Amino acid sequence: MGEQPMKLYLDSADIPAVAPLLHTGLFEGVTTNPLILQRAGVAPAHLPTLVQELIDAGAGSVFVQAVESDTDEIVAEGRRIVALGSNVIVKVPATRQGFAATARLAHDGVPVLVTAVYHVRQAILANSAGAWGIAPYVGRMDDAGRDGLRQVEQMGAVLHGSETRVLAASIRNADVVHELALQHCDAVTMSTAVAEALFIDHLTDRAVAEFTEAARALT
């Protein structure tokens, strides 16, 4: 994992929820997957419109996942996805076929984020395939009895010095975000609810209220 500040992404296809956060200028882009699209009611035919709406809202990059399972079909779908715009990055699941497709797409200059990563060995395969990055599922690893933060730390160690980034996903709360930052994780994607929670601190709110009260007393 690199020495640059950790980049923040939003894991959502809900334009009304995403747009205000993108407008802050603090979030690099938006990640999606089929479940997120389903929850937002985005049909495949409307995907180009969604990508453009997210870019117009301020997303520097938009991640769209391939859903095919055969290597040749994943490659073909990946090429269709990346054709949606210069800001689009293809997501491919960490399967045998997915890694093979990633290698072919990467060879052609297509940026690929290998997703649904649960183990360090998958990070090694993604790096060998020339992936743009990996998306380890922190919360889901914890659910499965694996230490998600520890796994991400080890993934960062094996990828150190490579061009394959770690973009941590499945983030359950804001505290996990700062734990990942302490590990110098390259990037993290989160729901809009977790993103909103990053802005909340009751001690800050109390101090601001005191400042406001003092300013009014001076007038």
- Could you read off the pLDDT of 22-78 as tens digits, one per residue? 999 999 999 999 999 999 999 999 999 999 999 999 999 999 999 999 999 999 999
- Read off the CATH number of the domain in which 81 is found: 3.20.20.70
2 within some domain? no
> At 125, is the pLDDT very low, low, confident or very high (cuts 50, 70, 90)?
very high
Q: Is 91 a catalytic residue?
A: yes
161 within some domain? yes
Quick check: 127 and 164 in contact, CB under 8 A? yes
Please give the average per-residue pLDDT across 104-116, as a whole number.
98
Containing structural domain, residue 105: 7-218
What pLDDT shows up at residue 54? 97
51 within some domain? yes
pTM of the model: 0.95
Please give the average per-residue pLDDT across 114-120, as a whole number.
98
201 within some domain? yes
When divided into structural domains, the chain yields a total of 1
Beta-sheet strands, E only, within 21-142: 29-31, 61-65, 88-93, 112-117, 133-136
7, 91, 104, 165: which one is catalytic?
91
SS3 203: helix
168 within some domain? yes
Tell me the residue length of the chain: 219
Question: Is the predicted pLDDT of residue 9 greater than 80, yes or no?
Answer: yes
Distances (CA, A) of 190 to 11, 88, 109, 206, 217: 5, 18, 27, 27, 41
What pLDDT shows up at residue 1? 65
Residue 213 has phi, psi (to 5 degrees) of -65, -40
Report how far residue 74's alpha carbon sits from residue 162's, in angstroms, rounded to the nearest whole number: 24
Look over the chain and give the mean of its residue pLDDT values, rounded to a whole number. Answer: 96
